[in-house]
Each structure stands twice: as C-alpha cells, then as structure tokens.
C-alpha cells in the first residue's frame, strides 16, 4: 500500500470502531445522548420552522433553561451548524467523522518531522484517535470532548516555524479559533486543560530533545493564543458566571492523597481497561471515568524496556516519570481547596477527567521510544489489534449507564423529565419541586423562582394537564 491508501485504511478502521461503539446497541445509547439529540432537534426545529439560528432557550431543556448561559450549552459551533442542516442521527455521525478525519490528519502532520516508519506514524495517529477516554466519552454522549482529538494538530501549529509572518499569525489564530470553538461547543474543561496539555507536551519534547523551540518563544505563542481565545469567549463567560453562581454544585475535586493518585495513574495508563480501578483505588466514581489509556500493551512494554535498559532510554524514562508525577498530582486532588475557591472552575467535576491533558505527553514519549527502537513496520499492525478489540470489551452497561433509548418521535416529545447537570447530578439545586406536563417556564424563572410564570406554547393544544414531581432522567 502507498502512503495515502495506508492512511485511508487506518482512518477507516478508527471511524468504524468509534461509530460501532456509539451505535452498537442502538436504539439503546449512552445516557447523555438524551441531551445531545434534544439539542440537535432544538436547532433543527427552530431554523426550519421559524428561521431562528441563535436559540436562546428551549422548552425541552428542563422546561426553559437558558442555553447561552449554560456551561454545557452548545452555541455557534460545528454541532450547531450541522444540527440546523441535518437530523439528529446524521449530525452525530458527521460530527464524529469530521473530528476523526481532522484529528488523524493533524496527528500525522505533528509526527511528520520525526524519523519513524510511515506505518508506525499511521499506527500512532490511529491509536490517538482511539484513546480510551475518547472512546468512552463518545459512547456516553460527551461529543464536546471530541475537541481533544485535535490537540496534536494544535501543538504542531504552535511549534511550527515559518519564514512568512502572515502564515505564522494565521497558525496561531487558527489555534485560538479551535480553542474558542471547544468552549462554545460546551466543553469549558477542555479550554482550561489546553494550556496544561500544551505546556507539559512542550516540556516533554524538550526533555527528549525533539524540539529546538526556545521556552520564551513557546510561552509567547501560547499566551497569544490564550488571550485571543479568551477575548472570543468573553461574552459567554460573563453570562455563564452570572448564571452558575446561583447554583454551586457541592461535588467537585476531592483530596484522596498522592499515593492513591500515583496508583490510579500507573494503572489507568499502563494497563488495558480490564481492571476494576474503582475497587483497586477505593474511589467513588465508576470505571468509565478512569479509562485514559492510549496504547494498551505498547506503552506497558515500553515502560518495562525503559526500566530494563535504563542507560539506553534515560531521557525517555525521565519523560515518563515527569508524566506520571504530574498525573499523580492531578489525580490526588490535594489542591482541591484551591480549586474550590476559583469561580466557574470550582463546579468542575472529578479529578481523573483532568488526567487526559497528559495523553499528548504520553504520545510524545511513545514516539521517542519508537524512534530509538526501530521496530519492523509490520509490528505496527500487530499492536493496532488491541486498540480495535478493547473498546468493545469495556462496554459495561452498569458503569457506562446506557440508559437512553432513542426513538423517532423524540423531536416531538414534550416531557416533564429533566436531566441538567448544572443543577447537580440529582437535581438537588433545581429551584422547582413540581411541574405540569405541557407547560413551560419563562427562562427568567431560574434566577427569580418566586416571580415565576409558566406558559403553553401557541399551537401546542395541550389538554388535561397533569402535575408531576420533578425527577432526574431515569
């Protein structure tokens, strides 16, 4: 196979695995698709019936919750545009396809300057697109996390050297735009993780002597990107802050200690997801939160080789120790008290989700090992097999909470059931106890419940309204 056909093959394999996981049990799907399909139908319906693109609120989102001010509210993004044009299922398929295509190509561009066989580059690009946390989040319905698949491309644009000043600034502006897009796509955590991911990846590149860019130049470039992206997202940040400060979730980062953090980091990165991390660490969240593996078997083998042949892989071992050290610190949550004092960020959830910002650094460590080992290119296909098999082995109904059943009438369904994480995962912060099926709330009710009024949309013709005790999505 030539280079192009080889990469088309690897890309196609990635896409089949990801889409296969999402729709394997269709119409039964990950519970957060209950949100994703509602959002898609809201935008599609509003545009096709009323010609409205910027939807301010939706009756189907907890009977009228503001969209713009909601941290996970999707605005002005690829998902938004696709939803307007296509139906909900097509939008999800196209979102995953486009992100995987761009992520695969971007990873190849990042790997291009390094001296390893093209087959191994294709393998690394495929494995990056099939990393455990990405598999699990697409399965759950967390499509906003697809943005992390673009991180190698964004790092390539940050490090890129060009004689043209115009191309240089265009590269930085593109990174700023992609970062702001993550925020508007309903993924504020990715925005916060991004500078951490890029900084750690750059330090690992320097440790492994894979980049000549000076630290000062990198800091200037990253600062330019962050400032520009922050200006773009400022209107939504202001709206989010005014809304979220009324609903401070009590569940946030927890301090479990550095040793527990180290144990979790080693297990989740070096071993395939066949271990019960929850039982082994004693932490309260499920296994699906804990799967951050990148290259099952390969990374473990590399780690063992580094220990056995320390003299040959001294720099690589330092890089891995750096990654595990930072990962252990993040997993430990010993900084929890500081986080809980920062507006907006204090509502973010569970320590392990944040370990994913180190996946890019682990990719670079793996790359450095492969450059020295010079393994035959046919081995790349052998190592690809676990990446294709494990995603289907980790589908556990209880941990993944595949509780959402899609049905074609969803877009017309007006329900009294609410599922909205901003009010806590058990709706403990929701300001209303009872609602009436078919009635909707004025969005201003969420800020001033005592002066609240509800209404029935024109043309609904709802008869025999029933009162329901509000409860989360089952």
- Report pLDDT digits (tens) over 70-116: 888 888 899 999 999 998 999 999 999 999 999 999 999 999 999 89
The average confidence (pLDDT) of the chain is 82
Instruction: Give this prediction's pTM.
Output: 0.89
Higher pLDDT, 455 or 331: 331
Q: Which residues contact 220 (CB under 8 A, 6 or more apart)?
A: none
Q: 116-144 pLDDT, tens per residue? A: 988 999 999 999 999 888 888 898 888 99
What confidence score (pLDDT) does residue 215 get? 92
Give, rounded to a whole angstrom, the gap between the first and last alpha carbons of the chain: 49
Q: Judge contact between 428 and 472, C-beta under 8 A.
A: no
What's the pLDDT score for residue 16? 92
Residues 6+ apart with CB under 8 A from 279: none
Give CA–CA dist 235/73, Å, rounded.
Answer: 13
pLDDT digits (tens, 9 = 90+) for 455-465: 555 555 555 54
Across-strand partners of 469?
434
Residue 307 class from Cβ within 10 Å (0-12 exposed, 13-18 middle, 19+ buried)? Answer: exposed
% of the chain with per-residue pLDDT over 90? 33
Q: What distance in Å separates the CA atoms of residue 315 and residue 227, rounded to the nearest whole number?
A: 33
β-sheet bridge partners, residue 434: 469
Per-residue pLDDT, 245:
78
Q: Rounded to whole angstroms, how far apart are CA atoms 120 and 370? A: 8
Task: Give the pLDDT of residue 5.
Answer: 81
pLDDT at 473 over 50: no
Q: Which two tokens stand for residue 436?
A: 């009436």
> Closest by alpha carbon to 130, among 394, 397, 384?
384
DSSP 8-state symbol, 344: T
Please give the structure tokens belonging to residue 464. 């025999």
d(CA 218, CA 102): 24
pLDDT of residue 65: 77
Burial bucket for residue 73 (CB in 10 Å: 0-12, 13-18, 19+): buried
Residue 218: pLDDT band with limits 50, 70, 90: very high
For the ranges 40-54, 246-260, 431-445, the one whose mean pLDDT is highest: 40-54
Number of Cβ atoms within 10 Å of the Cβ of 160:
16
- Asked if residue 295 lies in contact with residue 135, where contact means CB atoms within 8 angstroms, the answer is no
> Does 335 or 194 have the greater pLDDT score?
194
Q: Cis peptide before 367, with omega less than 30 degrees from 0? A: no
Strands (E) across 139-287 are located at none
Q: Is the pLDDT of residue 306 over 90?
A: no
Q: Which whole number is the average pLDDT over 342-358?
A: 76
In this model, does residue 238 exceed pLDDT 80? yes
What is the structure's pLDDT at 405? 78
Residue ranges of domains in the chain: 3-405
28 phi, psi to nearest 5 deg = -80, 125
C-alpha 201/C-alpha 358 separation (Å) is 8
The confidence score (pLDDT) of residue 474 equals 42
User: Dihedral of the CA atoms 25, 26, 31, 33 (nearest 10)?
Assistant: 140
Helix 132-140, helix 3-23: angle, nearest 10: 40
Whether the predicted pLDDT of 398 surpasses 60: no
Can you give the length of the chain in residues? 474
User: Is 467 in a helix, a strand, or coil?
Assistant: strand
Q: Are 352 and 275 in contact (CB under 8 A)?
A: no
Q: 282-285: long-range contacts (C-beta < 8 A, 24 or more apart)?
A: 283/256, 285/350, 285/352
User: Rounded mean pLDDT of 226-255?
Assistant: 84
314-342: average pLDDT: 87
């Amino acid at each position: 196979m030539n280079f192009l056909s080889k990469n088309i093959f690897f890309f196609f394999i990635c896409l089949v695995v990801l889409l296969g996981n999402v729709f394997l049990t269709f119409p039964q799907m990950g519970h957060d698709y209950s949100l994703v399909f509602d959002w898609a139908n809201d935008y599609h319906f509003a545009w096709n019936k009323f010609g409205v693109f910027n939807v301010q609120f939706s009756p189907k989102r907890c009977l009228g919750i503001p969209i713009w001010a909601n941290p996970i509210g999707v605005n002005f993004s690829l998902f938004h545009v696709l939803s307007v044009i296509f139906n909900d299922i097509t939008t999800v398929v196209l979102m995953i396809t486009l992100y995987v295509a761009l992520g695969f190509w971007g990873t190849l561009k990042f790997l291009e300057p390094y001296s390893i066989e093209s087959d191994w580059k294709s393998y690394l690009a495929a494995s990056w697109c099939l990393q455990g946390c990405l598999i699990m989040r697409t399965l759950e319905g967390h499509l906003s996390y697809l943005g992390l698949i673009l991180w190698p491309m964004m790092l390539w644009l940050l490090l890129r050297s060009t004689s043209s000043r115009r191309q240089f600034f265009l590269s930085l502006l593109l990174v700023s735009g992609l970062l702001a897009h993550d925020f508007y796509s309903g993924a504020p955590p990715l925005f916060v993780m991004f500078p951490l991911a890029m900084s750690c990846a750059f330090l690992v590149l320097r440790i492994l002597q894979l980049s000549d860019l000076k630290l000062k130049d990198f800091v200037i470039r990253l600062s330019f990107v962050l400032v520009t992206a922050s200006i773009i997202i400022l209107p939504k940040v202001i709206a989010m802050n005014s809304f979220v400060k009324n609903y401070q979730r009590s569940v946030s980062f927890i301090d479990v200690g550095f040793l527990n953090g180290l144990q979790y980091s080693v297990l989740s990165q070096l071993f395939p997801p066949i271990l019960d991390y929850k039982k082994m660490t004693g932490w309260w969240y499920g296994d699906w939160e804990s799967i951050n593996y990148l290259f099952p078997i390969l990374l473990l083998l590399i780690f063992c080789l580094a220990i056995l042949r320390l003299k040959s892989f001294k720099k690589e071992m330092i890089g891995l120790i750096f990654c595990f050290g930072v990962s252990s610190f993040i997993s430990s949550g010993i900084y929890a008290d500081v986080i809980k004092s920062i507006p907006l960020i204090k509502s973010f959830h569970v320590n392990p989700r944040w370990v994913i910002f180190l996946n890019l650094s682990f990719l670079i460590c793996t790359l450095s090992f492969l450059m020295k080992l010079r393994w035959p290119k046919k081995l790349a296909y052998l190592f690809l097999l676990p990446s294709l098999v494990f995603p289907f082995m980790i589908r556990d109904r209880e941990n993944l909470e595949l509780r959402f059943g899609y049905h074609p009438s969803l877009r017309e369904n007006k329900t009294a059931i609410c599922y909205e994480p901003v009010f806590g995962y058990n709706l403990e912060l929701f300001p209303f106890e009872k609602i009436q099926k078919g009635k909707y709330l004025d969005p201003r009710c969420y800020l001033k419940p005592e002066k609240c009024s509800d209404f029935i949309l024109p043309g609904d013709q709802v008869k025999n309204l029933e009162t329901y005790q509000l409860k989360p999505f089952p």
